[in-house]
C-alpha cells in the first residue's frame, strides 16, 4: 500500500543541520571515536574543483531523475508500491542503488544551498522509495517483483544488503543536509529488519551471513553515528568479521577467502574489497580496534605498492572486476572502474582521519585528479565505467559498459550516480582539524574552517592549483591568545617547494616538515598570510621494473596530474609508433581555450621507423636489443591531462610512452 506522502517541499533553503565548523559530509565521527582528525568544513569558492562541482550541480544532478525514469528504476519503485503496472525493468538486482546514490548526491548538493527544483525531485523520489518499502522494512524491487518475494536466498549475488547500504547512506545524507526524517525513517526500518534477521550463531537470528557485495557495513556505522544507536555499529562489526569464513563459498571475488584481520593483500572484486576496508576503518575509528587498524594500514600499503595504477585507478582485470596480481598493471586492458576510484577515496579518507597520516591524502589527490575525474566528461553528461591507460591505434571498441568511449548511461549504471555523490560531497574530503589545529589535505579555493575544542579557526585559500603551484592562505577566525598549528600537506610528488609565513621563509631543506605535513605553529592573528609554492615542473615517471606492461616506458606528470597523449593533438601518424626522447626538455603551455582550460606539456619524440613486418610481428634478435630504430626527425608531442581525455573526437590515447 502506498504510504502517506512526506511533507511537501518548500522552496526555501533547508536549514543546515549543524554548525559550520564541522563538515556536512559522509563521515561524521561518533562520540568517543578514536580518530586522530575530524573532517573540517570547507566552502569551495573558485577554481578547479569548484568548476567540476558546478557542472555536477548544473548538469549531472538535474538530469538524474529523467535518466532514472528512462532506465526504469523509478518505474520499478512504482511497481513495487502497486501504483503502476508493467514489467520490472533493468538487468541487475541492484538497480535500486542508482536511485539511492542519486538521492545521496542530491542531498549533499542541497547541503550547499537551495534549489527548489532539486528539492522537489528529492522529495518526490523519497516518496517513491517509501511507498515501495514492505511493511516489515524490507525493500528491494528485484526480489519483490522478479523473485516473487524471495529474500536472502542468494547472498553471494543478490545485493540485498548492498542495496540497504546505499539506501542508508542516502538517508543519512538527506537527514544531515535537511534535518528531515522521511528517508531516515525508511532506512532505519530496513536496518532494523536486517538486524532482526542477521546475526552470529547462537544469537537466535535466522541467518548467519554476509552480502557478497560489502557496502551495508560502512552505511551501518554511519547510521550509528547519525542516530546514536549502538546496535547498528555492532551489526556492522559482525558483518565485517564474518567475511572470510566461507559463508559465501570462500571466494576472493566476494571477499570471503580470508578474514580482513588476517589478509595480507587486497584481492578480488576491487569495489567490494574497498568498501569492506572502508567499513573496517570506520570500525577501528569508533571502537579503537587496533587489529583492524593495522590490517587497514597493511592492506593499504600492499595496494599502493603493488596494485595501483599511476592514475590511482584500481582493478587490473576486466574478468571479475578483480584487483589482479602484484605488479599486474596493464594499460589497454586496465579496468580501473570509476566506482573503485571513488571507493578508494572513501577508504583512504577514513584512514587519514583515523591515523592523521598525510600519505592517505596523497593517494586521494592522485585518485581525484586522475583515476576518478577521467570517469566524468567535461560537460557532465557522459561517463566512463572503465578507465584504461591506453587506447591503441585501430582500436575496435566493444561498446556497452566496458567501452573506452564516453557513454550517456550504462546497463550497469553504478558509476555515474556514484561520481555525482562524490563530487557533491567533495568538500568533505579536503580538510580536517584536531585540538591542536587545522590540516589542509587538498588545495582548492575557498574557506576552510576547523574546530579546536569548540574554538573555530579558519583560513581563506586562494590558488590556481593544479595549474599554478602558489597557494595563499589567509587566517580568518583565530583565538587571540592561543597558538595553533596550520598543517599543509606537502604532496608526495613534490620535489621542491618554498613557504613564506610572515617574515620567515623556508624551503624543503629547512622547513618544519615531517611525514608529509608542513606544520606551522603560531599565535595567529586575523589577516596573517602563508604562501606555499609547490614546484610544478613537469616530470617523467618510471614504474617499478616488475610492472611488465610499462617496462622501458615513462609517463609525463605535472603536479598532481597524470598526462596522456591523444591522437587529436598528435597528428601525422599513430600513437603506438611514438618514442619519447627522455633527454629532451619538457615545457608547458597553458591553453585556456582547450578542454575547459588546461596546461599542456610539450615533449619531444620520434616516430619509430616501422620495419617491414614480414609475415608476422616477431623477429629473431640474434642477441641484440629487440628495439626498432626511431626515425630521425623529431616531433613535438602535446600531452593533455588524463582526466580530460575522450572529450573530443574518438582516437588513440596513451599514458605510458616508450623511451629512446
Ligand atoms: O555489483 C554492484 C556494482 O556493479 C559494483 O560495485 C560494480 O563493480 C559493478 O559490478
Ligand atoms: Zn561503477
Average pLDDT in the 324-344 region? 98
What's the chain's average pLDDT? 94
Same domain for 530 and 547? Answer: no
User: According to the model, what pLDDT value does residue 509 have?
Assistant: 83
Q: Is the pLDDT of residue 587 over 90?
A: yes
- For 106-134, the pLDDT digits (tens) are 999 999 987 999 999 999 999 999 999 99
Over residues 208-213, the mean pLDDT reads: 98
pLDDT at 76: 98
Q: Write down the pLDDT at residue 609.
A: 73
Per residue, the 3-state secondary structure of 486-504, as one string, reads: EEEECCCCCCCEEEEECCE
Q: What does the chain come to in residues?
A: 660
Ligand 1: residue whose CA is nearest its atom 8? 271
pLDDT value at residue 25: 96
Cα(234)–Cα(226) distance, integer angstroms: 14
Structural domain ending residue among the three candidates 215, 242, 269: 242
> Model confidence over 600-650: pLDDT tens digits?
999 999 998 766 667 888 888 888 776 656 667 899 999 999 999 999 999
Inform me whether the pLDDT recorded for 519 exceeds 50.
Answer: yes
In a domain, 18, yes or no: yes
The answer, yes or no, to whether the previous bond of 393 is cis (omega within 30 of 0) is no
Nearest residue (by CA) to ligand 1, atom 9, is 414
Q: Is residue 553 part of a domain?
A: yes
Instruction: Check pocket membership of 271 for ligand 1, CB cut-off 6 A.
Output: yes
Residues 636, 498: one domain? no
Identify which has the larger pLDDT, 484 or 502. Answer: 484
Cα of 271 vs centre of ligand 1, distance in Å, is 7
pLDDT at 12: 38
Instruction: Point out the domain boundary residue: 209, 242, 275.
Output: 242
467-492: average pLDDT: 97
Give, in order, the Cα–Cα distances in Å from 319 to each of 91, 182, 212, 268, 332. 19, 40, 17, 10, 14
Query: Does 382 map to a domain?
Result: no
In a domain, 577, yes or no: yes
339 in contact with ligand 1, CB cutoff 6 A: yes
Residue to mutate, 101, 337, 384, ligand 1, most ligand atoms under 8 Å from C-beta: 337
Of 266, 261, 258, 340, the residue nearest 293 (C-alpha): 261
- What pLDDT band is residue 501 in, cutting at 50, 70 and 90? very high
pLDDT at 623: 80
Q: Quick check: 424 and 122 in contact, CB under 8 A?
A: no
Cα 159 to ligand 1 centroid, rounded to whole Å: 10
pLDDT digits (tens, 9 = 90+) for 5-41: 334 334 333 343 334 567 899 999 999 999 999 999 9
Domain end position, chosen among 513, 534, 555: 534
36 lines ligand 1 (CB under 6 A): no
Ligand 1: distance of its center to the CA of 339 in Å?
8
Residues 6+ apart with CB under 8 A from 398: none
Which structural domain range is residue 92 located in? 1-32+63-242
Count of CB atoms situated within 10 Å of the CB of 6:
18
The verdict on 611 and 519 lying in the same domain is no
Percent of the chain scoring above 90 in pLDDT: 90
Task: Check whether 3 has a pLDDT greater than 60.
Answer: no
Q: Say if CB 602 and CB 586 are below 8 A apart.
A: yes
Amino acid at each position: 500500500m502506498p504510504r502517506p506522502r512526506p511533507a511537501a517541499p518548500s522552496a526555501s533553503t533547508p536549514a543546515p543541520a549543524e554548525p559550520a565548523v564541522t563538515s556536512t559530509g559522509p563521515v561524521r565521527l561518533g562520540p568517543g571515536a578514536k580518530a586522530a582528525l575530524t573532517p573540517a568544513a570547507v566552502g569551495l569558492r573558485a577554481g578547479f574543483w569548484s568548476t567540476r562541482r558546478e557542472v555536477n550541480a548544473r548538469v549531472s544532478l538535474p538530469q538524474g531523475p529523467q535518466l532514472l525514469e528512462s532506465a526504469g528504476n523509478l518505474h520499478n519503485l512504482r511497481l513495487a508500491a502497486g501504483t503502476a503496472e508493467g514489467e520490472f525493468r533493468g538487468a541487475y538486482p541492484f538497480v535500486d542503488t542508482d536511485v539511492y546514490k542519486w538521492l545521496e548526491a542530491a542531498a549533499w548538493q542541497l547541503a550547499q544551498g537551495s534549489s527548489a527544483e532539486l528539492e522537489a525531485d528529492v522529495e518526490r523520489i523519497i516518496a517513491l522509495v517509501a511507498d515501495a518499502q514492505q511493511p516489515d522494512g524490507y525493500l528491494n524491487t528485484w526480489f519483490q517483483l522478479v523473485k516473487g518475494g524471495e529474500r536472502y536466498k542468494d547472498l553471494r549475488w543478490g545485493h540485498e544488503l548492498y542495496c540497504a547500504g546505499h539506501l542508508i547512506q542516502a538517508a543519512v545524507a538527506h537527514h544531515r543536509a535537511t534535518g528531515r526524517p522521511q528517508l531516515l525513517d525508511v532506512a532505519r526500518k530496513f536496518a532494523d529488519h536486517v538486524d532482526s534477521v542477521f546475526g552470529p550463531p547462537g544469537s537466535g537470528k535466522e541467518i548467519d551471513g554476509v552480502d557478497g557485495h560489502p557496502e551495508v557495513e560502512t552505511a551501518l556505522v554511519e547510521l550509528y553515528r547519525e542516530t546514536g544507536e549502538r546496535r547498528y555499529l555492532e551489526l556492522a562489526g559482525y558483518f565485517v568479521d564474518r567475511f572470510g569464513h566461507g559463508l559465501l563459498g570462500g571466494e576472493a571475488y566476494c571477499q570471503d577467502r580470508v578474514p580482513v584481520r588476517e589478509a595480507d593483500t587486497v584481492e578480488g572484486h576491487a569495489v567490494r574489497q574497498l568498501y569492506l576496508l572502508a567499513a573496517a576503518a570506520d570500525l577501528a575509528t569508533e571502537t579503537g580496534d587496533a587489529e583492524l587498524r593495522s590490517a587497514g594500514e597493511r592492506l593499504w600499503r600492499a595496494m599502493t605498492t603493488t596494485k595501483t595504477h599511476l592514475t590511482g585507478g584500481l582493478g587490473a582485470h576486466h574478468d571479475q572486476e578483480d584487483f589482479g596480481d602484484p605488479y599486474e598493471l596493464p594499460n589497454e586492458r586496465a579496468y580501473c572502474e570509476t566506482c573503485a576510484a571513488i571507493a578508494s577515496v572513501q577508504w583512504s579518507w577514513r584512514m587519514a582521519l583515523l591515523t592523521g597520516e598525510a600519505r592517505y591524502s596523497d593517494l586521494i589527490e592522485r585518485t581525484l585528479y586522475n583515476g576518478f575525474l577521467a570517469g566524468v566528461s567535461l560537460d557532465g553528461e557522459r561517463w566512463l565505467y572503465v578507465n584504461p591507460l591506453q587506447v591503441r591505434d585501430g582500436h575496435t571498441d566493444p561498446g556497452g559498459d566496458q567501452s573506452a568511449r564516453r557513454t550517456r548511461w550504462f546497463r550497469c549504471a553504478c558509476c555515474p550516480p556514484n561520481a555525482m555523490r562524490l563530487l557533491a560531497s567533495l568538500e568533505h574530503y579536503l580538510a580536517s582539524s584536531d585540538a591542536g589545529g587545522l590540516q589542509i589535505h587538498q588545495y582548492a579555493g575557498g574557506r576552510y574552517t576547523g574546530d579546536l575544542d569548540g574554538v573555530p579557526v579558519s583560513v581563506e585559500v586562494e590558488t590556481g592549483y593544479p595549474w599554478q603551484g602558489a597557494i595563499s592562505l589567509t587566517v580568518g577566525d583565530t583565538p587571540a591568545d592561543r597558538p595553533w598549528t596550520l598543517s599543509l600537506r606537502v604532496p608526495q610528488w613534490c620535489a621542491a617547494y618554498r613557504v613564506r609565513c610572515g617574515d620567515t621563509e623556508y624551503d624543503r631543506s629547512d622547513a618544519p616538515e615531517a611525514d608529509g605535513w608542513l606544520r606551522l605553529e603560531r599565535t595567529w592573528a586575523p589577516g596573517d598570510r602563508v604562501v606555499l609554492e609547490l614546484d610544478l615542473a613537469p616530470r617523467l615517471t618510471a614504474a617499478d621494473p616488475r610492472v611488465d606492461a610499462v617496462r622501458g616506458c615513462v609517463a609525463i606528470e605535472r603536479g598532481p596530474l597524470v598526462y596522456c597523449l591523444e591522437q587529436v593533438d598528435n597528428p601525422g601518424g599513430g600513437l603506438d609508433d611514438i618514442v619519447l626522447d627522455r633527454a629532451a626538455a619538457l615545457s608547458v603551455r597553458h591553453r585556456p581555450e582547450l578542454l575547459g582550460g588546461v596546461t599542456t606539456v610539450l615533449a619531444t619524440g620520434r616516430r619509430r621507423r616501422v620495419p617491414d613486418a614480414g609475415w608476422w610481428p616477431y623477429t629473431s634478435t640474434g642477441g641484440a636489443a629487440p628495439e626498432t630504430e626511431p626515425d630521425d626527425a623529431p616531433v613535438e608531442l602535446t600531452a593533455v591531462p588524463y582526466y580530460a581525455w575522450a572529450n573530443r573526437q574518438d582516437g588513440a590515447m596513451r599514458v605510458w610512452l616508450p623511451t629512446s
